[in-house]
A and B are shown apart, each in its own frame.
Chain A
């Protein structure tokens, strides 16, 4: 979806990857001369010519949703970098070019209507275009599709419970035990997120995604992992004393391994306690 939209204003239609078109296509220099437009075009060409844009520090995303967000990040990073570069240059240019040279009073210019119109209209257009990309990506990320697996995630002070409705499987872990949520790759898992007490945050950095677990609210979202692996998750919203330790793992396995895991859990003796019991344990100081 993202790619199809960006194709509309891609300056180089033959480019194999359209990532970053948002940035290079939109953030044309506002006050600058043609020289800058030309430079921007060269930079855009270089960026688009390479088959892979840099990640700019972010994760590429293990899920399709995370990958959509990642593409938006690339576009926004380039846009931001271009805007930063232009304004930074103008500031630095003013500082060095117009440093005090004589006691002569400079021309007392106060208005320049044309510039004022340009630097109002160009940013408006820029942000409106950015908004289109946001809107499209956001709908991708937040879309709820047909899911094969559902996991009821309950956050509590200070741990996580992952319950698999229909399978009678439950994983519960408190701080420093790092409970593991197992989900299948190449399928869509629906997460139903709740909180048992205060506001928590379900955050898996490599999924490029987080969502609050709010008391009294049920949040739902899809995760569609495309690769297997074990990924670190952590509570991001301050939830009290041991907020720092509210870590969990997400293990993405192949669908067959997932079924095997479910089967194994069903046959294992049910050792997991209730959340209330876990909290009592924490209250008694049985940390570790």
Chain B
């Protein structure tokens, strides 16, 4: 962005409900003079269009990976099915996992929603590095295509699982070009993620609007900040590990290979076997999971953020325990870098108590989040719109996945559930709850902002209920299968062990989920053909993005409400319903209109009204610079 952006003008809360628009003629320039149509999408550096590109691409990937899941479930519906071959089966679950983990769940959240929403929530005109942002997207698209092209090379797509354990991923065991395509794809999307991480962190630190102190950032933005930092910790490790894997495969190094390693690999020299020159297969697992477990939270935290945006809006209350929530997010992130070896309990070469204890401790901040979410709904006025239903689906699904996760943190229990369907059920419930329930809650929630039109609520509810039933039907039987001893990643299973019934239930559930997503497509189509206008703020939203138009103009804001809390739009629209700072005061019980401002520090600057410099909250008004160093209200 080379054009100079005028600072948004802050509108005082006493102003008319249709705020006085401070006209900036230049603002209408860039949008109209830039390219249009497909060229606009190809050349844009606008965070909103890049965000939409990310979301569209990742949802296409989600549908592809979903179809693969259905093929897997068809194969498993009968014990000795020959619906697909062993080789095709291995390719299917590898690509299903890789697409979902690397190309959907992460990019949809931190590439798509965060890209679109974070600059809006902090009142910024764009991301900090718009061109780097565009590069991120194109790397991501290139990486995604590279991975999918694996299906069309000799030997087929990668077939070693999404974790690519060495030495199965070596040139000896997986010689095909599909494996190389997989490695290349992850290198490309890994850089894409790193650049997005840089961009998110820089945007949140440096481009906040006047008044938007750190402690006034919405939780979604907080979570994206922490996610960005986690990306910067985790993804370089993956990329480095992949480079070494590639070197093993093509340059004769023996970093991960143990069998058949030699000291010399130069032409003309005889290879001399030397066990001391051998690498370590466990090294790959350590490096991979050092990326992989923070990655789980890179996938989860943005979705926690979405839920934390939606629950308060449809409960008509502020998020309960805002600061505790932020600290919980930070502790999850910190702990997540020290738990990677709980994926390796059964290797016999990790320090079990250490990783077990840290894994258990993650349950504490996660539990805090649960109580924050429940506390947010407590004594609210809950409106069960589609996004809200999806959030409740998330809460229940994530609760189940979380409880079984605590069981898996116990090595003796992990010993008999590891790499069985118990683990499959556990992490599918966790990831489905976050990336699908919460992710599509976010889609339903912000779609009106992105397109200025609503998705149909009744179709959304059909989507929810069918998916909700499908979710429980698909995954609960898998816990039982795991306890009965069915290993994951098997294409066939014996017919005499009573496993088929549970597999069939699971398959029915999977197809219900598939049907529910057909309804989503129909909903999107209807909304496109027969738009229902959304207006700027259809949900009575709390955060800044609901203050601007739907869709927002090129640089997002021409004017801003005063930012006195983490929900400036709410404060603007409901000046008599501000936050009560610290819980129940004696004698305050039964107070429900929320107009009390007793002991309420957020309100202290409000009457002084945003225009006056030196108002008690100390907001530097329209200076254009982020108000750094401001004392946050408590």
Residues of A within 8 A of B166 (CB): 199
Whether A131 contacts B280 in the complex (CB less than 8 A), given A57-B479, A98-B380, comes out as: no
> A123 contacts which of B364, B381, B578, B594 (Cβ < 8 Å)?
B364
Whether A108 contacts B579 in the complex (CB less than 8 A), given A98-B381, A134-B356, comes out as: yes
Residues of A within 8 A of B574 (CB): 105
Residues B316 and A105 in contact, CB atoms below 8 Å apart: yes
Residues of B within 8 A of A80 (CB): 403-404, 406-407
Kindly identify, within residues 76 to 109 of chain A, every residue whose CB is under 8 Å from any CB belonging to chain B. 76-77, 79-81, 83-84, 87-88, 90-91, 94-95, 98-109
A-binding segment of B292-300, B365-373, B508-516: B365-373
Closest CB in chain A relative to B239 CB, distance in Å: 22
Residues of A within 8 A of B380 (CB): 94, 98, 106
Residues A215 and B167 in contact, CB atoms below 8 Å apart: yes
Closest CB in chain A relative to B62 CB, distance in Å: 23
Q: Which residue of A lies closest to B419 (CB)?
A: A236
A-binding segment of B341-349, B439-447, B525-533: B341-349
Q: How far is the CA of A135 from the CA of B353 in the complex (A)?
A: 6
B-binding segment of A44-52, A237-245, A255-263: A237-245
Residues A119 and B167 in contact, CB atoms below 8 Å apart: no
Closest CB in chain A relative to B101 CB, distance in Å: 15
Residues A212 and B487 in contact, CB atoms below 8 Å apart: no
Q: How far is the CA of A257 from the CA of B84 in the complex (A)?
A: 44
Q: Is B360 an interface residue (CB 8 A)?
A: yes
Q: Is A253 an interface residue (CB 8 A)?
A: no
Q: Is A69 an interface residue (CB 8 A)?
A: yes
Residues B381 and A100 in contact, CB atoms below 8 Å apart: yes
Whether A120 contacts B168 in the complex (CB less than 8 A), given A57-B479, A87-B374, A106-B379, comes out as: no
B-binding segment of A8-16, A164-172, A203-211: A203-211
Q: Is B192 an interface residue (CB 8 A)?
A: no
Whether A98 contacts B416 in the complex (CB less than 8 A), given A138-B356, A197-B167, comes out as: no
Residues B485 and A212 in contact, CB atoms below 8 Å apart: no
Residues of A within 8 A of B493 (CB): 244
Q: Is A31 an interface residue (CB 8 A)?
A: yes
> B487 contacts which of A123, A221, A235 (Cβ < 8 Å)?
A235
Q: Is A232 an interface residue (CB 8 A)?
A: yes
Residues of B within 8 A of A220 (CB): 348
Number of A interface residues in the complex (CB < 8 A): 90
Max count, chain B CB within 10 A of own CB: residue among A99, A130, A216: A216
> A110 contacts which of B86, B90, B318, B479 (Cβ < 8 Å)?
B318
Residues of A within 8 A of B258 (CB): 215-216
Q: Which residue of A lies closest to B361 (CB)?
A: A127
Q: How far is the CA of A68 from the CA of B416 in the complex (A)?
A: 12
Q: Mark A105-149, 1 if CB is under 8 A from B, else 0.
A: 111111111111001100110010011011101100110000000
Q: Is A72 an interface residue (CB 8 A)?
A: yes
Q: Is A201 an interface residue (CB 8 A)?
A: yes
Residues of A within 8 A of B320 (CB): 109-112
Q: Mark A1-44, 1 if CB is under 8 A from B, else 0.
A: 00000000000000000000000000000010000000000000
Residues A137 and B412 in contact, CB atoms below 8 Å apart: yes
Residues B259 and A196 in contact, CB atoms below 8 Å apart: yes
Q: Which residue of A lies closest to B483 (CB)?
A: A57
> A209 contacts which of B324, B357, B382, B416 (Cβ < 8 Å)?
B416
Whether A111 contacts B418 in the complex (CB less than 8 A), given A84-B399, A215-B281, A239-B168, comes out as: no
Q: Which residue of B lies closest to A235 (CB)?
A: B487
Q: How far is the CA of A107 from the CA of B589 in the complex (A)?
A: 10
Max count, chain B CB within 10 A of own CB: residue among A141, A212, A235: A212
Residues A120 and B594 in contact, CB atoms below 8 Å apart: no
> A203 contacts which of B352, B375, B485, B579 (Cβ < 8 Å)?
B485
Residues B317 and A134 in contact, CB atoms below 8 Å apart: no
Residues A104 and B413 in contact, CB atoms below 8 Å apart: no
> B381 contacts which of A105, A131, A133, A212 (Cβ < 8 Å)?
A105
Residues of A within 8 A of B348 (CB): 211-212, 214, 217, 219-221
Q: How far is the CA of A200 from the CA of B516 in the complex (A)?
A: 38
Q: Mark B379-398, 1 if CB is under 8 A from A, else 0.
A: 11111100000001001100
Closest CB in chain A relative to B167 CB, distance in Å: 5
Residues of A within 8 A of B259 (CB): 196-197, 215
Kindly identify, within residues 227 to 285 of chain A, every residue whose CB is under 8 Å from any CB belonging to chain B. 232, 234-245
Q: Is B33 an interface residue (CB 8 A)?
A: no
A-binding segment of B18-26, B104-112, B220-228, B580-588: B580-588
Residues of A within 8 A of B578 (CB): 108
Q: How far is the CA of A197 from the CA of B348 in the complex (A)?
A: 17
> A197 contacts which of B173, B403, B490, B579 (Cβ < 8 Å)?
B173
29 residue pairs A–B, Cβ–Cβ below 8 Å = A59-B416, A59-B483, A83-B403, A84-B400, A94-B377, A94-B382, A98-B315, A98-B377, A105-B593, A106-B317, A110-B579, A110-B581, A111-B581, A111-B583, A112-B320, A124-B361, A134-B410, A138-B411, A142-B352, A198-B167, A198-B173, A201-B418, A203-B416, A208-B412, A212-B346, A216-B278, A219-B347, A241-B86, A244-B86
Shortest beta-carbon contacts, A-B, top 3: A205-B485, A112-B583, A216-B258
